[in-house]
Amino acid sequence: MKIPMTKKGYEALQAELTRLRREERPKVIQAITEAREHGDLKENAEYKAAKEHQQFIDTRMSELEHKLGNAQVVEITSGQSDTIVFGVTVLLLGLESQEEKRYTLLGQEEADIKNGSISVQSPIGRALIGHRVGDIVEVHRPAGVIEYQVQSIWFEEL
């Protein structure tokens, strides 16, 4: 299954993988070697911690390799858009609260609600895809249904 992401998101994953390979993994291998020199491995907390850290790094590297191998880099243009698609920023009006919300729809790896970006796979993201300015969108969530009206749609430089 392809994993949609922006070029910036792809490059960030590549940078993390490179850092893990070139910096973190060699450090943990050195820590294992040093801890091994302290004697009995069964009671060696430093050795156990270093091995656990190595396992964490190896798992993360494998995860990153999978994501990069299945990445579908989506080029984000600039300007307006007629419909909500991957990479757009939308301005929504909560019909009940009359509160405006602004979201950029990105892939799961790039989603960061604190910075206003949500995953296209999130409940809100899935509900928004394909809608146009003026549409009423129902978002089904565990706490109930919330309705938004799409105010505007545009592409931003990411």
- Tokens (6 digits) for 111: 């989603």
Q: In terms of domains, do 87 and 144 share one?
A: yes
pLDDT tens sequence across 61-89: 999 999 999 999 988 777 677 899 999 99
Domain range for 21: 3-73
Q: What is the pLDDT of residues 90-105, one digit of tens each?
A: 999 999 999 999 999 9
Q: Within 70-142, where are the H helices?
A: 123-128
Report which residue type is found at 53: H
Return the bridge partners of 72, or none. 4
61 shares a domain with 83: no
Does 136 have pLDDT greater than 90? Answer: yes
Q: CA 47, CA 55: separation in Å to the nearest integer?
A: 12
Domain end (from 13, 39, 73): 73
* In a shared domain, residues 97 and 143: yes
Report the domain count for the chain.
Answer: 2
Where among 35, 52, 73 does a domain terminate? 73
Distance of CA 20 to the CA centre of its chain: 18
- CATH number of domain containing 48: 1.10.287.180
86 and 148: one domain? yes
The CA dihedral of 144, 145, 151, 154, to the nearest 10 degrees, is: 80
